[in-house]
Amino acid sequence: MPVSRVRGFAPASIVLGLSLLALPMGAQAETFTFKTTGKNIDRVQLPAPSPTGRPTGAGVSAVETDTTYTDGKVLHSTGKCASWILPPGSQFGSNQVCTYSSPSGDAYQVTLTCEAPPQGPNCWGKLAGTGGRFKGRTGAFTLQSGPNGSVGTGLWND
């Protein structure tokens, strides 16, 4: 994962690593990797006022995520996300919120922030469990977006 070029902020992978170190000694984090694909449902975007400027806009997408835990179990979740481009001059590029659920009743919410171009499609965020085995739990993750979806790593705190 490329190193962030934003001054004063650690790369997302370091932030995740530090959050692992900050866990209480008795807590057992549940780590995972994931791959997410999405399909735009609706999007409104206005072009940038200059060739080097940032566009303005927001969108809604349907997402599917396959999460693989260290014990080999895979959880398939579906959800919906809303994202918006932050105004020109903002330190970061975009924010997003998502709600996810699975056939087993596991459910969670996601909030994330992504770097502004040209640093890359690096994002980091928080997890909040809302149903099933995640209810009441919190977590964190990092991801990197590409043309075929996003891949990342994360953890659920106990």
> For residue range 7-21, what is the model confidence (pLDDT) as tens digits?
333 333 333 333 333
Mean pLDDT of 131-141: 97
pLDDT-derived band at 116, boundaries 50, 70, 90: confident
- Is residue 36 within 8 A of residue 150, CB to CB? The reply is yes
Helices (H), 107-147: none
Quick count: other Cβ atoms within 10 Å of Cβ 125? 21
Q: Higher model confidence: residue 117 or residue 24?
A: 117
> How is residue 72 annotated by DSSP?
S
The predicted pLDDT at position 119 comes to 64
> How is residue 6 annotated by DSSP?
S
Q: Is 71 exposed, middle or buried (0-12, 13-18, 19+ CB in 10 A)?
A: exposed
The predicted pLDDT at position 30 comes to 95
The predicted pLDDT at position 147 comes to 81
Q: Rounded to whole angstroms, how far apart are CA atoms 5 and 11? A: 8
What does pLDDT average to over the chain? 83
Among 8-12, 38-42, 54-58, 91-95, which is the least confidently predicted range?
8-12
- Is residue 101 within 8 A of residue 131, CB to CB? The reply is yes
The predicted pLDDT at position 120 comes to 65
The predicted pLDDT at position 73 comes to 96
The answer, yes or no, to whether residue 140 has pLDDT greater than 80, is: yes
The predicted pLDDT at position 58 comes to 97
> How is residue 19 annotated by DSSP?
H
> For residue range 74-95, what is the model confidence (pLDDT) as tens digits?
999 999 999 999 988 888 999 9
Mean pLDDT of 26-54: 88
The answer, yes or no, to whether residue 145 has pLDDT greater than 70, is: yes
